[in-house]
Amino acid sequence: MRSTAFGAETILRSALEKSGQRYTEQRAAVFRYLRATDSHPTADEVFLNVRDDVPGISLATVYKSLETLVGCGLAAKLTYGDGSARYDGRTDDHHHVRCLACGSVSDLHSHVDAEEVHRLEASASNFRITGYRLELTGYCDTCDAHGLARTH
């Protein structure tokens, strides 16, 4: 547990240094929380949880910290049409499944075949492709069981 937290601090410090930014308690707490969860929280959810570690932190600072982490490549921002953006502390190559009823997001531990991606990239003339994003949509078991699928 301690080694994990320490590892996270080291990662954050070096990422921040590279861009002339400073290590702060607030950024560290946001980073720690993001890494410890797989719930893809919204900024507000991060705010509520991080308060336990840093009582006086403001929502604006959480937004700024999240943006900083995304800028450093230590987190990813997921945006869907509904409500607020969600943040992902996992930086390895993976995709997501999203529930159309409750909005929850889960990780998908399977990739698209690299050759398949290349084929798609080749079809995008006029663009220099730097990345891609794939998302499955459907209904999670909980919502499906409650018949919420029909109402959305």
Partner DNA sequence: ATCCTTGCAAAGCATTTGCAGTCAC
Partner DNA sequence: GTGACTGCAAATGCTTTGCAAGGAT
Q: Minimum distance from CB of 18 to its own copies (Å)?
A: 16
Provide the phi-psi class of 29: left if phi over 0, else alpha when psi is between -120 and 50, else beta: alpha
CA-to-CA dists, residue 152 to 82, 101, 120, 144, angstroms: 12, 6, 31, 11
Find all residues with CB under 8 Å of 32, minimum gap 6, and list them.
5, 8, 53
Contact partner at residue 60 from its own copies, DNA, none, CB < 5 to 8 Å by partner kind: DNA
Pattern 57-86, its own copies, x by CB under 8 A? --------------------x-xxx---x-
Partner whose footprint covers residue 58, from its own copies, DNA, none (CB < 5 to 8 Å by kind) = DNA
Both tokens assigned to 60: 């604006």
Residue 14 found at the interface with DNA (CB under 7 A): no
Measure the CA–CA gap between 112 and 94, rounded to whole angstroms: 9
Residue selected from 15, 34, 43, 72 as contacting DNA according to rule CB under 7 A: 43
Q: What minimum distance in Å lies between the beta carbon of 75 and its own copies?
A: 13
Regarding 27 and contact with DNA (CB under 7 A), the answer is yes
Q: Are the C-beta atoms of residues 96 and 136 closer than 8 Å to each other?
A: yes
Instruction: Decide: is 136 part of the binding site for its own copies (CB under 8 A).
Output: yes
The site for DNA (CB under 7 A) is made up of: 13, 16, 20-27, 42-44, 54, 56-61, 63-65, 67-68, 79, 83-85
